[in-house]
Chains A and B, each alone.
Chain A
Amino acid sequence: MSEIVVKAPQGHIEVRNFSLSYDSIEGPVQAVTDTQIHVKPGEFVSIVGPSGCGKSTLLNAVAGFLKPTTGIVTVDGERVNGPSAERGMVFQQYSLFPWKTVRENVEFGLKMRGMPRSQRERAARTLLGLAGLEAFEKHYPEKLSGGMKQRVGIVRALATGPKVLLLDEPFGALDAQTRVIMQQILTNMWQRLKISVLFVTHDIDEAIFLSDRVYCMTARPGSIKAEIPIPLERPRQQSMMMSSEFLALRRGLMSLIREESIKAMGGELNDMGMQGLNIELHGHSLADVI
């Protein structure tokens, strides 16, 4: 563990005047526009929004996979120019290397850093032990359940001691039971490591349960519609999800997202030439129906 925790509070993510568009035959398409977000060192921040709003695009830009069209992404004042081990990432699709065992997967980042074999073996074992995976170190990923794969994915991303952890709907493919357990595991690890987390999800409960702050995005082109602090005390318990405080937050976020989802769907319906059906898509009438 000692390799990971020692660093002074760092991992300050700053996204300023951010926009991203890509070219298509009909001209440039705006995916994300005029967006400012930040994550303070050690903070857990989620981004929620309707599907296709560009939340994954934004996360991929922080990871360094996409270049902003305008604006700037910095971590601790340094401009993000491409992917690096300083920003660990967990993907929605299981992204373990199928040809490496669980331990070799976890060791990979340390190997890239040039850590000698025996040392990285020990580090990987320790980390796997923390996640309750030591019994599976010699297994190939194919033999693991979805939840275990994603746990290994998180451990692998944390192994190099990154400044920030980026998660792109990591539990989206898991069943409800496993998802709850994974959320618990993630908060435990985060509290222990005091690492900054930027978490993308479309699950409102998940966002509230995990986060210190939640950004809600608008429909495409995505921008920040609202920033909601989550004042629930820590450590969070599953039972809190029934508290009136939680439910109030949930209701607020839900209505924000629903507005945007309807906007997104209304746009689609219009595109499909559905006006003929006499559905009033502008204003709030459809919202009232749904």
Chain B
Amino acid sequence: MPASAIAEASAMPASTPPASPPSFGTLALRWYRLNRGGLRATAIGIISLLAFLLVWHLLTTYRVVFFVRFTNVPSPLAVYASFTKAIHDPKFLLHVLLSCRRIFFGFSLAAIVAVPLGLIMGRFKLVHEIIFPVAEVLRPIPAIAWVPMAIMLWPTNEQSIVYITFLGSFFPILVNTLHGMSLVDPVLVRAAQCLGARERSIFRDVYFPASLPHIFTGLTVGMGVAWVSLIAAEMISGQYGIGYFTWEAYSLVQYADIALGMIAIGVLGLGSSMLIRGAGQLVMPWRSR
């Protein structure tokens, strides 16, 4: 068959497995060659983190005063001591847990509302024309500025904090979803139409997957802003939560706990954005290499 013969000739060369399994040594060497860049980055990363800790340690043990005052700043060892105490303290764990729960509800609600809204606004001009001006006016208002209003709006403190978190992540998700929709290649839509796709399947099989990368950018940014908003709201109106814990430590002159709260926020923020990245890779296998 000439077609397939020609096809074969132009096909990409497939990687052929070697006849005999290579020795462990060769495999290890190959693995090292392939991952050299990653290993290097990891090694440098660890060294730079250690250097950071060392500088912090030196600045605090010698109580350096050079424009900034390190007089009262806790040393890494002091923070570690309060960390070992805190992980056995159910109250600290409750703070962490409550913050996570607020993030979960606030962020999930934002995603559940903003993603479909963005998709619909991107597809139907009229909806876009109606909603976009309102969104544009509300968008620049920082979530923290909503705190007094949120307290008035919602019957409980818990609800108003979740609401603030929701607001923080809502707009980044909406804006990025809209952006993704606006970038959908019209040729793909036409290709789908030529294959007999109707409005519903064009939406499901073209617009939605084409926007997914941007939706996930929105989710990542939204998660970051969610934490910013949450911590601010907790510091102002909370009774629990890691933001409240950090602020309370300051009021109670527990300096080591301030740093502990900050680090906890950093780790939680990092963890949640890694979760989103992982979810993105699961949902978009075509983008991972």
A residues adjacent to B (C-beta < 8 A):
63, 65, 82-85, 87-89, 91, 93, 95-101, 108-109, 112-113, 129-133, 135-136, 140, 142, 144-145, 147-148, 151, 156-157, 160, 178, 181, 184-185, 188-189
Taking a contact as CB atoms under 8 Å apart, the answer to whether A133 and B7 are in contact is yes
* Residues 233-289 (chain B) with a chain A CB within 8 angstroms: 284-286
Taking a contact as CB atoms under 8 Å apart, the answer to whether A65 and B190 are in contact is yes
Complex: how many Å from CA A95 to CA B17?
A: 33
Taking a contact as CB atoms under 8 Å apart, the answer to whether B212 and A99 are in contact is yes
Chain A nearest CB, measured from B94 CB (Å): 42
The contact sample of 19 A-B pairs, CB cut-off 8 A, is A82-B193, A85-B194, A85-B196, A88-B194, A88-B195, A95-B185, A99-B209, A99-B284, A112-B196, A112-B198, A130-B3, A132-B3, A135-B11, A140-B285, A147-B10, A151-B7, A184-B3, A188-B2, A189-B3
Give every chain A residue within 8 A of B198 (Cβ-Cβ).
112
Top 9 nearest A-B pairs by Cβ distance?
A: A132-B7, A85-B196, A109-B195, A83-B193, A132-B4, A112-B196, A99-B209, A95-B191, A140-B286
Partner of B3, one of A65, A144, A148, A188: A188
Main secondary structure of the interface of B (DSSP, over half): helix
Give every chain B residue within 8 A of A160 (Cβ-Cβ).
195-196
Complex: how many Å from CA A108 to CA B195?
A: 7
Partner of B14, one of A63, A132, A135, A145: A135
Q: A83-B193, A91-B191, A140-B286 are in contact. Are A112 and B7 (CB under 8 A)?
A: no
Taking a contact as CB atoms under 8 Å apart, the answer to whether B7 and A98 are in contact is no
Q: Is B210 an interface residue, CB under 8 A from the partner?
A: yes
The count of chain B contact residues (Cβ–Cβ below 8 Å) is: 33
Beyond the given pairs A113-B196, A178-B10, 4 more chain A to chain B contacts, judged by CB atoms under 8 angstroms and listed by A's residue number, are A88-B195, A99-B209, A112-B197, A181-B10
Taking a contact as CB atoms under 8 Å apart, the answer to whether A142 and B194 are in contact is no
Taking a contact as CB atoms under 8 Å apart, the answer to whether B187 and A185 are in contact is no
Taking a contact as CB atoms under 8 Å apart, the answer to whether A99 and B187 are in contact is no
Cβ-closest chain A residue relative to B7: A132
Give every chain A residue within 8 A of B187 (Cβ-Cβ).
91, 93, 95
Q: A97-B205, A142-B286, A184-B6 are in contact. Are A157 and B194 (CB under 8 A)?
A: yes
Chain B nearest CB, measured from A160 CB (Å): 6
Q: Is B93 an interface residue, CB under 8 A from the partner?
A: no
Complex: how many Å from CA A100 to CA B192?
A: 12
Complex: how many Å from CA A132 to CA B205?
A: 26
Complex: how many Å from CA A98 to CA B206?
A: 10
Taking a contact as CB atoms under 8 Å apart, the answer to whether B12 and A83 are in contact is no
Q: A91-B191, A98-B286 are in contact. Are A109 and B7 (CB under 8 A)?
A: no
Partner of A112, one of B11, B201, B286: B201
Q: Is B129 an interface residue, CB under 8 A from the partner?
A: no
Q: Is B89 an interface residue, CB under 8 A from the partner?
A: no
Give every chain A residue within 8 A of B210 (Cβ-Cβ).
99
Give every chain A residue within 8 A of B201 (Cβ-Cβ).
112
Partner of B196, one of A100, A109, A129, A188: A109
Q: A112-B196, A112-B201 are in contact. Are A83 and B190 (CB under 8 A)?
A: yes
